A = this chain, B = another copy of it.
Amino acid sequence: MIRAKVIGATGYGGVGIIELLLQHPQVKLIALVAREDVGRTISQVYPHLTGFCDLPVLAPDDPRAQAPADVVFCATPDGVGMQMAQDVLDGGARLLDYSGDFRFASAEAYADYATRIGRNPTHASPHLLGRNVYGLSELHRDEIRQAPIVGNPGCFAASCILGLAPAMRAGAIEPLGVICDCKTGVSGAGKKVNASFHYPARYEQMNAYKLAGHQHVCEVEHELSRQAGQDVRVTFTAHVMPVCRGILSTLYGTLARPLTEAEALDLYRDFYRDSPFVRIFDSQAPIGTLHVRGTNFCNLTVSVDQRCRRLRIVSHIDNLMKGQAGSALQNMNIMFGLPETTGLMRPGAYP
C-alpha cells in the first residue's frame, strides 16, 4: 500500500483527494494536516465522510504529522509547498503540490509568474527547480513517472492547455491570435467564504473578473509555447458562473492554414489516442459541463469557423477533479507505476 499524507486537508482540494484516496485500492491515508479545525476528525469537518474516515486533523507541527509516507499531497495555496518540499523529499516521499510553486522549471520562469500575481519573485527552494515536472499528465507522462516533485496544473490552465495543445503542436493555429474565454464554477475558489460567493450575491450572477490579468495565463502561455516551439500569447478572460463544479473554456485560435472540421477532429483524436481521460466530440454533440461532473474527464468539442478562419475548441472539465484532485491522483498513479486510471475511471452520476 502507498502511504499518503494530505497537507491542507480541510480545504476543497484536500477533501477532494481524501475522497479519492479512500476509494483507491492501493493507498492508505496515514495523516491529515491543516491549520484549521485541528483536533477535530475530518468527518466532523465534513460530515459526508462519517463512517469512512475518522482521522484527526493534525497541526503541521504535530509529531504524528511527521510519520513516514510515500507520497505527500500539498493541497495548499502558493508559498507553502516550496517551504516543505525538501523535508518531504528527505523523509523519503514524493511530492504532489497543487499550487504554482512547482509548475515552472526555472527560477526565472517562477519569478515571472510570481511577479505577475504580486508575490515575492524569489523561490524558496530554487535548488529543487529542475527536479519538478509540470503535472499535466497527458503531456508529461514520462517525466512524471520519475519526478520527485510534481506541480499539479491550475484548473483553468488544464482546460486551456488540453484544448489547445494539439493544434499548437501541429502548427495549425497562429501563436499570437489565441483567446481563452473561461467560465468557472465557484468551487474553484475554494472553501473560504467571500462576499462574491455568498449565495445571494452569486445566484443569477455572471461576471468576468481579474480583467487586468489572471495568474493562470502565465502557465498557459508557458506550456503552449513549449508545444508550439515558439512564443505564444494569450488573451485570457476568467468568468464565474452560478455553478459549483465545472469549467467551460471556449478557445479561439486563428488558423495558420486551411483546415476542415473533419481534419481538426482527426488531429485531436490522434493526439489523445492514448489518453483515457480526454474525449473528443464534434461540434454537434449536445454536451456540457454536467457530463464531466464528478469525473476526471476532459471533453473537447472541435469546430471551425471557416468564415473567420478560426479554430474553436470548447473544453469541459470538473474543476475539482481534472482541474485538481483527479489530476493529482492521475499523477500519483503514474508516479507509482499504476495504470493511470486506477481509482478514477468512473462515469459520474447524471443528472
Contacts and interface: CB of A to CB of B under 8 A. Distances in A.
Interface of A: 12, 15-16, 19, 22-23, 46-53, 176, 179, 181, 183, 185-187, 191, 193-209, 211-212, 233-235, 237, 239, 241-246, 248, 250, 252, 276, 279, 281, 283-295, 299, 301, 303, 305, 307-308, 310, 312, 314, 316, 320, 346-351
A54 to B, nearest CB: 12
A183 B299 CA distance: 19
Contacts of A288: 205-208
A347 B290 contact: no
B308 A233 contact: yes
B205 A289 contact: yes
Nearest to A51: B279
A303 to B, nearest CB: 5
A198 B199 contact: yes
Given A204-B246, A209-B286, 4 more contacts: A181-B181, A205-B288, A212-B283, A244-B351
5 contacts: A16-B349, A48-B350, A51-B279, A203-B290, A212-B283
A206 B243 contact: yes
A198 B200 contact: no
Given A204-B244, A279-B50, A283-B211, A310 B235 contact: yes
B49 A347 contact: yes
A196 B347 CA distance: 20
Given A206-B248, A314-B208, A23 B235 contact: no
A260 to B, nearest CB: 13
Given A47-B285, A193-B194, A235-B305, A351 B183 contact: no
A303 B202 contact: no
A204 B308 contact: no
A38 B228 CA distance: 45
A181 to B, nearest CB: 4
Given A206-B183, A241-B206, A241-B242, A48 B303 contact: no
A205 B351 CA distance: 10
A22 B245 CA distance: 24
A103 B303 CA distance: 29
B186 A200 contact: yes
A201 to B, nearest CB: 6
Contact of A206 (B203, B246, B307, B351): B246
Contacts of A314: 207-208, 211, 237
Contacts of A301: 208, 211
